[in-house]
Structure 1
Amino acid sequence: MTQSTTTPEATTGRNTRGLFLLSTGVVFAIAAVVMLFITVVGISTLQSDALARINEQNLSYRAEFGFVERELSVLSAMTAVPAMLLIVAMCFLIPGYLRRRGVIAERDTTFWRGGSHTAKYKPLPLGLHAAWALLPLAAWVLLVVIPLRNLIGGTAWPAGLKDENSSAVWMLLAAYGGLAAALFAAIVVSLIKKVVYTARVARHPEAVDGSAGKGLWRWVTFRWRFDLWLAGLGGAFVGLCWIALGFDDTPFFVTTLVIGLALLAAGLLLAVNYWRAGEPLGAGESYS
């Protein structure tokens, strides 16, 4: 039997750093939620002329490695602040999670196998995994379902907003409601993948070695996680298509719903075949 070469001091240090990263990520995530709330309330209550002036003001920035100057409206910049905070939060949450629950290592790369960095971690239990799905689901209900119900009923916010305010508010709700729906779909499909993989390996232990063509399956489902990307994109379409009903745009609703369901089905099909990649749950790789 081999013994772990990781010392208690190294494990403690890794866990401490992981806890610090997770805590920092949580702070940024909470800040993003607060900023989103402030932005929605602010845009809802601004006078139309003030909102128009803000929208007409532009910020200049350099793009394409600094060779091209572009402009962005102040209103668009305001709506992007919560998203930027969420991105910063993920930059802390992901490595923090890996440091707390797994090990990160380096290795040489090949075309079919090998990111320059690999991670192995303990997968979440099924119950806790399912519980995490409730968080983006609740966010989607708050950002899309309740405002849409109020709009159709015409009795509460955001019904009654002036056109300029209404357009800006729905732009915010759609952007972040779509993100919440995408996260919910990705988490649920990931959960289904875990259930199917576990059941498959339990019935057929040899499945841990993958199947024919596992190089391609590994590239698609393990290295790049196209199953979850497709599921997330499909979830965003399905989660947002209902807004069209509030504006009596049935063709847009049907088209968006069909596209979203097709993407979800494609992601789910890849996810339930993850075992073919010959890789365990709780592993990943990246180039950095």
Structure 2
Amino acid sequence: MSHSTATPEVTTGRNTRGLILLSIGVVLTLAAVALLFVTIVGISSLQADALARINEENLSYRAEFGFVERELSSLSAMTAIPAAILVAAACFLIPGYLRRRGVMAERDTTFWRGGSTTAKFKPLPLGLHAAWLLVPLAAWVVLVLIPLQNLIGGTAWPAGLQDENATAVWMLLASYGGLAAALFTVILVSLVKKAVYVRHIARHPDAVTGSAGKRTWRWLTFRWRFDLWIAGLGGGFLGLCWIALGFEDTPFFITTLVIGLALVAGGLLLAVNYWRAGEPLGAAESYS
């Protein structure tokens, strides 16, 4: 991709638009996190109210997730809305980041070298990259680890709920815990990928030109990022396999753990060979 020849005025406008997009994305992300927190507290109240009326024998009980039937729709909305907001936030955060820290361009496509739209941006420093690991890790602890510890210890979570209903609540919210675990693994594998790439290129400056398998590696690790997709899927398995321990289902735990470890190992194997793609860090292209 050629160097940018944008004038200072154009660059300033691009940065301003990028800042606006980033700001919208950050606001949406914070709103999603706040709503998820409200959901955790709100579900606790919803459950407590339902159980009180069930105990008074005024309502029929439906066993699904420990909720009465007419409240299941409210539960579905409460748990789905934060995810929808996070998807919307990504639509602002990604282009905003590219506009602030990179350059986007267009080019003709071929089968192996596609990308009608390309982007090149400055990668995060290794230290800042590593610091981002704390965000999904904290989410996983709150949504999976703490409820699991309480479940194993026989303590209701959220507080005040009967055991079987508390289990249903945190199992429902664990879907976000699985997403957090997948994100943690993607960031971790991406960090390893960056560290290995930088060290390898420092020792072998000409290695970035690729190898005999350049096209295959480029297709796998650059265009489609299969290294991160596979690792993220494995991270989801690893983040949620511990739930089986709460139900004393050791075979399921071991099976899921092995699958997760195998997927993460496969993603890592691809990631540490990213230099074979012949592309620098901080570059990307669209499919079409």
How many Å separate the matches in 1 of 2:42 and 2:126? Answer: 40
Higher deviation after alignment, 130-139 or 75-84: 75-84
How many Å separate the matches in 2 of 1:262 and 1:158? Answer: 34
**1:112 equivalenced with 2:112 (yes/no):** yes
Corresponding residue for 2:87? Answer: 87
Q: Percent identity?
A: 76
How many Å separate the matches in 1 of 2:78 and 2:271? Answer: 36
**1:102 equivalenced with 2:102 (yes/no):** yes
Query: How much does 1:205 deviate?
Result: 1.1
> Does structure 2 retain, via aligned residues, the 8 Å contact 1:54–1:75?
no
Corresponding residue for 2:210? Answer: 210
How many Å separate the matches in 2 of 1:52 and 1:3? Answer: 61
Name the aligned partner's letter for residue 31 of structure 1: A
SS in 2 for 1:175: helix
Name the aligned partner's letter for residue 274 of structure 1: Y
Q: 1:238 to 1:136 in 2, by over 3 A?
A: same
**1:53 equivalenced with 2:69 (yes/no):** yes
Q: 1:3 to 1:213 in 2, by over 3 A?
A: closer
Unpaired runs of at least 5, structure 1: 57-72
SS in 2 for 1:120: strand
TM-score if structure 1 supplies the norm length? Answer: 0.88
Corresponding residue for 2:232? Answer: 232
Corresponding residue for 1:266? Answer: 266
Query: How much does 1:162 deviate?
Result: 3.5
Corresponding residue for 2:25? Answer: 25
Corresponding residue for 2:195? Answer: 195
How many Å separate the matches in 2 of 1:156 and 1:3? Answer: 59
Query: How much does 1:172 deviate?
Result: 3.0
Q: Residues 1-288 of structure 1 correspond to what in structure 2 (within 5 A)?
A: 5-46=5-46, 47-48=50-51, 51-55=67-71, 73-155=73-155, 157-158=157-158, 161-162=161-162, 165-287=165-287
> Does structure 2 retain, via aligned residues, the 8 Å contact 1:43–1:168?
no
Q: 1:111 to 1:3 in 2, by over 3 A?
A: closer
> Does structure 2 retain, via aligned residues, the 8 Å contact 1:231–1:265?
yes
CA RMSD of aligned residues (A): 1.9
Runs of 4 or more, structure 1, over 4 Å off, are none
Name the aligned partner's letter for residue 11 of structure 1: T
Equivalences, count? 271
Q: 1:186 to 1:4 in 2, by over 3 A?
A: closer
Query: How much does 1:100 deviate?
Result: 0.5
Query: How much does 1:104 deviate?
Result: 0.9
How many Å separate the matches in 1 of 2:169 and 2:216? Answer: 43
> Does structure 2 retain, via aligned residues, the 8 Å contact 1:227–1:271?
yes
How many Å separate the matches in 2 of 1:225 and 1:204? Answer: 23
CA deviation map 1:89-133 (0-9, x unaligned)? 100000010000001111111110021110000000000000111
How many Å separate the matches in 2 of 1:87 and 1:191? Answer: 23
How many Å separate the matches in 1 of 2:21 and 2:139? Answer: 24
> Does structure 2 retain, via aligned residues, the 8 Å contact 1:18–1:100?
yes
Unpaired runs of at least 5, structure 2: 60-66
TM-score if structure 2 supplies the norm length? Answer: 0.88
How many Å separate the matches in 2 of 1:19 and 1:181? Answer: 28
